[in-house]
């Protein structure tokens, strides 16, 4: 008998050679139906692979990231099997799972494949899936593997095998008639795969090397239920419409310029108005909570980053140092604000009575990213962090976490997000010597983070061993209206920089102490956050934040002065907007106003002027069109408007 320890700490005894699937069955048949793979002593295994010794076992279903990965990886094999059936003789490169589905790179030889072929490939995949073929794992020697693929004539697999060590143990996996070189793990059988959709066909160089063969990359996704595929495809459609790059251009929020450079967003007037209003709102909330704004330069001497350790860590992959006409003088573009803030803390002596000191800056930083990784506002080379650094005593860590969580949850709700979670990253309790800072302070800080999240009722997952070497942290995640998860910012405890910058305060004991430093940028960056917000609200920003809250549409030029009068009266109520004075038909004006997603259209014609009223249309949420609210007096409108803020 062997002992199997489950994640809840319970230990059960099984026969030697039992599998994760057997374990699942011993718990419940329902669970067993859903098990896709399992983590056995830290490694993800096939659910039906025999376990021969005492082990820690964690079962994975579709709800686990690792479960999805197994599902999609097996789907890639199924895709390959189908492709081989439809295009006999093609050769296979690699076929991994991705964050959203999977792909296989194949060499079609003389054959071609286009979106018109998708249906027949999908049909073949489903036909093979219905056969419920098991994925059979076969350990094999390097030579056996070589000989198999030489016989088959698949030069790409041969190249992959030749790169492996002489005595390395390899495995093949076979489902139905298809055999692949693969580490696994895989699903129990192909029958789990109930829905597949090919998404894209394109080119990709073998091994990512531009000098090698161009392969055909077939990308697809699969699900255990047809309904999930339908939902996913609808979400993709919706996401396309909400793409912040598309909306950003349509709404005139931001632009990119080839001459300025990729990944360097330029904020246009409407985007600037939006961003500035959001920053001002955040600033005000921070000042209420005792933050002190500062402004620091966007460059610093290399010395600063030698002291902080950033130069050593990021030097080569980053924007390179800036030389000057003076020999040996070097500056660096600021990749983070913390070293500057340490200099501010350190420029004068502090007493414990002054702590916590919260130094805040909407600081623009620059970090080099490969051009292929850039994406709209969410992956850029220059961005403005909602940054602050808190210098406090070890006993103040919990209150500071509470303060930051309160701020973040207040703001995130004000922006119309409802689904908000966090990951707490703690140290590896078995390797405490890897971390700097005293054991006492670590214990105190970790408990402070856990307690603070409980107190505010924030849903969290906790990961052991994921802390940075210099302190534990908390990462925020938000779910948008389409159910997609976005990583936002972080609260990070740091015992390292106060040491490197020799920061101090005089304690109540009249002795010198090191403050704890807390980095926090709960939204990460204004760029990323506005990108996510744009997609979340499909460009229909919360009324208080919208760059323009209304557009007045006069039916003819005759009503221009009445329109201006309305605009002035609204301005007196701090309601901001514009007049579409173009010489265009009202239908066109309404359509353009819809594209621009103004929260309100105020239409003015003969009747409205005579009755001293306005015709109000309110924009709906998400896909909804504009709701006609009929003719109203300005006072009625203003009263209604203010209930929405």
Of the listed 186, 310, 398, 473, which one is catalytic? 473
Q: Which is nearer to a second copy, 321 or 605 (CB)?
A: 321
- Does 292 sit near a second copy (CB under 8 A)? yes
Q: Does 419 sit near a second copy (CB under 8 A)?
A: no
Which of these ranges, 175-183, 186-194, 215-223, 313-321, lies near a second copy under the rule CB under 8 A? 313-321
Q: How far is CA 128 from CA 35, 156, 173, in A?
A: 21, 25, 16
In contact, 489 and 526? CB cutoff 8 Å: no
Q: Does 207 bind a second copy (CB under 8 A)?
A: no
Q: Does 300 bind a second copy (CB under 8 A)?
A: yes
Question: Annotated catalytic residue: which of 286, 385, 492, 549?
Answer: 385
Q: What are phi and psi of 389, to 5 degrees?
A: -125, 125
Nearer to a second copy, 292 or 633 (CB): 292
Stretch that binds a second copy, among 88-96, 137-145, 315-323, 439-447 (CB under 8 A): 315-323
Q: Which one of 39, 182, 338, 427 is the catalytic residue?
A: 338
541, two tokens: 């920003």
Instruction: Provide the token pair at 115.
Output: 């979106």
Q: What angle do CA 567, 552, 600 make, to 5 degrees?
A: 105
Q: How does strand 473-479 pair with strand 600-604?
A: unpaired
Q: Please give the Cα distance from 44 to 163 (Å, whole number).
A: 23
Distance CA 518, CA 472 (A): 10
Active site residue 628: no
DSSP, collapsed to helix, strand or coil, labels residue 616 as strand
Place of tokens 């998400």: 622
- Residues 363-382 contacting a second copy, CB under 8 A: 364, 366, 368, 371, 382
Q: Is 325 in the site for a second copy (CB under 8 A)?
A: yes
Q: Answer yes or no: 385 catalytic.
A: yes
Structure tokens at 485: 């998860």
> Which of 11, 235, 322, 464 is in the footprint of a second copy by CB under 8 A?
322
Nearest Cα to 489, choosing from 418, 396, 383?
383
Under the binding rule (CB under 8 A), the answer on residue 71 touching a second copy is no
326 binds a second copy (CB under 8 A): yes
- Residue 311 touches a second copy, criterion: CB under 8 A: no
Q: Is 539 left (phi over 0), alpha (psi -120 to 50) or beta?
A: left
User: Based on CB atoms, which residue is closest to a second copy, 140 or 344?
Assistant: 344
Q: In DSSP terms, which residues pair with 422 in a beta bridge?
A: 460, 476
Which of 34, 231, 307, 631 forms a contact with a second copy (CB under 8 A)? 307
421 binds a second copy (CB under 8 A): no
Catalytic residue (one of 519, 520, 589, 617) = 519
To a second copy, the closest distance from the beta carbon of 519 in angstroms equals 18
Q: Counting contacts by CB under 8 A, is residue 188 touching a second copy?
A: no
Terminal-to-terminal C-alpha distance of the chain: 66
Say whether 424 sits in a helix, a strand or coil.
strand
Cα separation, 313 vs 615, in Å, equals 61
**Least Å distance between CB 348 and a second copy?**
9
**Pairwise CA distance, residues 312 & 407, whole Å:** 34
Buried b (16+ CB within 10 A) or exposed e, 354-383: ebbbbbbbbbbbbbeeeeeebebbbebbbb
Q: Which of 389, 398, 528, 613 is catalytic?
A: 389
Measured from the CB atom, the residue of 358 and 540 that comes closer to a second copy is 358
Nearer Cβ to a second copy (315/416) = 315
Handedness of CA 482, 484, 485, 489 (dihedral sign): negative
What 323-332 contacts at long range (C-beta under 8 Å, 24+ apart), as own/partner pairs, is: 329/301, 330/301, 330/302, 331/299, 331/300, 331/301, 331/302, 332/299, 332/300, 332/301, 332/302, 332/304, 332/305
Q: Is 362 in the site for a second copy (CB under 8 A)?
A: no
Residues 32, 47, 158, 304: which binds a second copy (CB under 8 A)? 304
Residue 344 interacts with a second copy (CB under 8 A): yes or no: yes
Binding to a second copy (CB under 8 A): which residues in 112-171? none
Our CB check for a second copy shows the closer of 300 and 458 to be 300
Q: Give min distance, CB of 299 to a second copy, in A.
A: 6
| 251-280: contacts with a second copy (CB under 8 A) | 255, 257-261, 264-269, 271-273, 275-276
In whole angstroms, how close is the CB of 482 to a second copy at the nearest point? 28
> Could you say whether residue 299 binds a second copy (CB under 8 A)?
yes
Greatest alpha-carbon span in the chain: 92
Residues across the chain: 645
Instruction: Identify the residue among 17, 109, 202, 293 touching a second copy (CB under 8 A).
Output: 293
CB closer to a second copy out of 173 and 362: 362
Q: How far is the CB of 247 from a second copy (least distance, A)?
A: 16
Q: Residues 319, 352, 420, 562: which binds a second copy (CB under 8 A)?
A: 319
Smallest gap from residue 553 Cβ to a second copy (A):
18
Choice between 115 and 371, CB closer to a second copy:
371
Of 97 and 357, CB closest to a second copy: 357
Of 46, 387, 475, 480, catalytic: 387
Nearest to 230 by CA among 191, 192, 196, 190: 196
417 within 8 A of 536, measured Cβ to Cβ: yes
Residue 501 Cβ vs a second copy, minimum distance, rounded to whole Å: 9
- In the residue annotation, 367 being an active-site residue is answered as yes
Q: Which of 289, 367, 576, 597 is catalytic?
A: 367
299 vs 461, which CB is nearer to a second copy?
299
Interface with a second copy (CB under 8 A), residue total 54
Residue with smaller CB distance to a second copy, 295 or 572: 295
Three-state DSSP state, 385: strand
Minimum distance of a second copy from residue 371's CB (angstroms):
8
Cβ–Cβ contacts within 10 Å for residue 493, how many? Answer: 30
Min dist CB 496 to a second copy, Å, is 17
**CA dist., res. 201 & res. 394, Å (int):** 55
Specify the stretch interacting with a second copy by CB under 8 A; choose among 138-146, 174-182, 339-347, 414-422.
339-347
Q: How far apart are the C-alpha atoms of 215 and 109, rounded to whole Å?
A: 9
Number of neighbours of residue 429 by Cβ within 10 angstroms: 10
Nearer to a second copy, 301 or 444 (CB): 301
As given in the structure block, the two tokens for residue 528 are 């990323």
Least separation, in Å, of the C-beta of 292 and a second copy? Answer: 4
* C-alpha distances in Å from residue 89, one per residue of 108, 168, 207: 8, 28, 21
Q: Given the rule CB under 8 A, which residues bind a second copy?
A: 255, 257-261, 264-269, 271-273, 275-276, 292-301, 303-304, 307, 316-326, 331, 333, 339-340, 343-344, 347, 359, 364, 366, 368, 371, 382
Active site residues: 338, 367, 385, 387, 389, 473, 519
């Amino acid at each position: 008998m062997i002992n199997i320890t489950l994640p809840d700490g319970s230990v059960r005894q099984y026969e030697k050679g039992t599998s994760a699937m057997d374990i699942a069955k011993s718990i419940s048949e329902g669970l067993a139906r859903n098990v896709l793979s399992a983590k056995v002593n830290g490694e993800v295994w096939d659910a039906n692979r025999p376990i021969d010794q005492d082990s820690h076992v964690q079962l994975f279903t579709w709800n686990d990231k690792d479960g999805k990965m197994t599902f999609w990886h097996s789907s890639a094999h199924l895709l390959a099997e189908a492709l081989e059936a439809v295009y006999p003789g093609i050769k296979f490169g690699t076929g991994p799972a991705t964050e959203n589905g999977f792909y296989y790179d194949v060499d079609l030889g003389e054959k071609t494949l286009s979106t018109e072929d998708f249906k027949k490939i999908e049909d073949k995949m489903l036909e093979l899936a219905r056969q419920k073929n098991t994925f059979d794992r076969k350990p094999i020697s390097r030579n056996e593997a070589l000989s198999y693929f030489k016989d088959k004539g698949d030069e790409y697999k041969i190249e992959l095998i030749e790169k492996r060590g002489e005595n390395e143990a390899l495995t093949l996996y076979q489902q139905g008639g298809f055999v692949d070189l693969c580490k696994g793990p895989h699903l129990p059988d192909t029958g789990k795969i109930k829905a597949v959709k090919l998404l894209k066909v394109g080119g990709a160089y073998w091994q990512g090397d531009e000098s090698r063969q161009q392969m055909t990359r077939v990308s697809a996704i699969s699900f255990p239920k047809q309904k999930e595929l339908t939902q996913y495809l609808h979400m993709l459609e919706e996401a396309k419409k909400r793409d912040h790059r598309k909306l950003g251009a349509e709404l005139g929020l931001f632009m990119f310029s080839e001459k300025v450079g990729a990944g360097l967003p330029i904020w246009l007037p409407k985007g600037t108005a939006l961003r500035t209003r959001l920053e001002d709102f955040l600033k005000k909330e921070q000042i209420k909570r005792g933050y002190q704004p500062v402004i620091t330069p966007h460059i610093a001497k290399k010395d600063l980053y030698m002291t902080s350790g950033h130069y050593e860590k990021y030097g080569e992959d980053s924007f390179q140092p800036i030389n000057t006409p003076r020999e040996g003088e070097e500056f660096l573009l600021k990749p983070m604000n913390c070293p500057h803030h340490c200099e501010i803390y350190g420029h004068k002596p502090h007493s414990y009575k002054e702590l916590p000191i919260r130094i805040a800056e909407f600081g623009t930083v620059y970090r080099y990213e490969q051009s292929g990784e850039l994406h709209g506002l969410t992956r850029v080379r220059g961005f403005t962090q909602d940054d602050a650094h808190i210098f406090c005593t070890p006993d103040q860590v919990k209150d500071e976490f509470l303060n930051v969580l309160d701020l973040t949850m207040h703001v995130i709700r004000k922006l119309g997000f409802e689904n908000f979670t966090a990951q707490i990253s703690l140290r590896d309790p078995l390797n405490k010597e890897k971390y700097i800072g005293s054991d006492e302070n670590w214990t105190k800080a970790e408990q402070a983070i856990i307690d603070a999240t409980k107190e505010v009722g924030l849903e969290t997952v906790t990961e052991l061993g994921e802390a940075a070497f210099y302190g534990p942290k908390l990462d925020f995640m938000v779910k948008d209206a389409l159910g997609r998860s976005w990583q936002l910012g972080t609260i990070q405890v740091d015992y390292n920089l106060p040491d490197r910058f020799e920061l101090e305060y005089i304690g109540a004991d009249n002795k010198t102490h090191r403050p704890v430093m807390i980095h926090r940028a709960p939204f990460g960056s204004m760029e990323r956050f506005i990108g996510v917000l744009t997609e979340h609200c499909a460009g229909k920003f919360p009324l208080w934040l919208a760059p323009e809250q209304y557009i007045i549409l006069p039916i003819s030029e005759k009503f221009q002065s009445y329109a201006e009068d309305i605009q002035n009266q609204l301005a007196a109520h701090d309601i901001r907007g514009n007049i579409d004075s173009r010489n265009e038909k009202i239908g066109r004006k309404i359509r353009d106003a819809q594209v621009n997603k103004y929260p309100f259209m105020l239409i003015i014609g003969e009747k409205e002027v005579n009755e001293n009223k306005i015709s109000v249309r309110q924009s709906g949420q998400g896909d909804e069109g504009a709701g006609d609210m009929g003719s109203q007096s300005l006072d009625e409108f203003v009263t209604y408007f203010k209930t929405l803020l």
